[in-house]
Amino acid sequence: MIQLHNIDKHFGSQHVLKDVSLQVAPGQVTALIGPSGSGKSTLLRCINLLETPSAGQITLGDASLQFGHDHAQPGRQDIHRLRLQTGMVFQNFQLFPHRTALENVMEGLLVVKKWPRAQAEARARELLQQVGMAHKADAWPGTLSGGQQQRVAIARALAQSPGLLLCDEPTSALDPELASEVVAVLRDLAANKMTMLIATHDLRLAATLADTVVFLEDGRIVEQGSSRQLFLQPQNPRTASYVSTLKEGLPEDW
């Protein structure tokens, strides 16, 4: 079970997350949608503690951390434990350019899990197979297309079998064709009951992949519900106007 309780985040005088509470059911895909600057990226980054929440509580499986003035700063061990429960996929892939695709996927297994090389390599090859990148195992990231890089990045994020996969705009840096190969991989993961939290402004991605959709604006959750309900019968007028762009589609005079 993944639970966020009353998460607050300030950057200086900016209040970017305001009392956000969220539950992600295991085996489900949750999409965070909302305009730029709505706080969806920050919320993801708070979950694996790339940002430290100003207040609130995060529970991931059996690890739980509290933040705020009344609580001691979480120690390195706590942060480490929480991080290992999550995998992160970045908008710009962020593969390690000086390591091959295979080495990228092996890195955490070797350094964090301290697996023997042969075992780590076997696991990494299996994951590359899963994302359809086995044939590029020895390629440098710089020689791969964006879609291929993102698929390797997904394999890397999955290497240590996290309970939750966080995807921060996983397709936003890709053209539609390359994006679709990444979406196919994510759909495959969803079919295998991987718990995922995806921040995206690609409403089609959210509509096709997510079980639950959360609309975030100005650091607050405006509305959440099943993707069908949120896209077809939004309750809040702000949500309605935001998701209407999905349904507009082609120009009217066509």
Partner 1 sequence: MPEWLKLMVESLPPLLYAGLVFTVPLTLLSFACGLSLGFVTALVRLYGPKPLADGFRFYVWLIRGTPLLVQLFLIFYGLPKAGIVFDPLPAAVIGFSLNVGAYTSEVIRAALLAVPRGQWEAAYSIGLTWAQAMRRTILPQASRVAVPPLANTFISLIKDTSLAAVLTVPEIFQAAQRIASVTYEPLILYTETALIYLAFSSVLSAGQQKLEARFGQHLHQAQETK
Q: List interacting residues with partner 1 (CB under 8 A).
A: 48, 50, 76, 80, 83-84, 86-88, 90, 92, 94-99, 107-108, 111-112, 140-143, 156-157, 159-160
Min dist. Cβ of residue 171 to partner 1 (A): 17
Min dist. Cβ of residue 122 to partner 1 (A): 18
What is the C-alpha separation between 56 and 182, in angstroms, rounded?
33
Q: Which residue, 173 or 246, has its beta carbon nearer to partner 1?
A: 173
Min dist. Cβ of residue 74 to partner 1 (A): 14
- Phi first, then psi, for residue 173 (nearest 5°) are -95, 10
Q: Which residue, 25 or 112, has its beta carbon nearer to partner 1?
A: 112
Q: Which residue, 80 or 228, has its beta carbon nearer to partner 1?
A: 80
What is the C-alpha separation between 8 and 46, in angstroms, rounded?
10
Min dist. Cβ of residue 237 to partner 1 (A): 36
DSSP assignment of 20-66 equals: EEEEE-TT-EEEEE--TTSSHHHHHHHHTTSS--SEEEEEETTEEEE
Q: Which residue, 1 or 111, has its beta carbon nearer to partner 1?
A: 111
The token pair at 48 is 């694996």
Give 24: exposed, middle or buried? Use CB within 10 Å, 0-12, 13-18, 19+: buried
Q: Strand 2-11 and strand 196-199: pairing?
A: unpaired
Min dist. Cβ of residue 89 to partner 1 (A): 9
Min dist. Cβ of residue 131 to partner 1 (A): 16
Min dist. Cβ of residue 72 to partner 1 (A): 20
Q: Which residue, 199 or 203, has its beta carbon nearer to partner 1?
A: 199
Q: Which residue, 173 or 240, has its beta carbon nearer to partner 1?
A: 173
CA–CA distance from 203 to each of 35, 62, 185, 241, 242 (Å)?
11, 32, 17, 13, 10
Q: Which residue, 113 or 220, has its beta carbon nearer to partner 1?
A: 113
SS (H, E, C) 151-184: HHHHHHHHCCCCCEEEEECCCCCCCHHHHHHHHH
Amino acid sitting at position 43: L
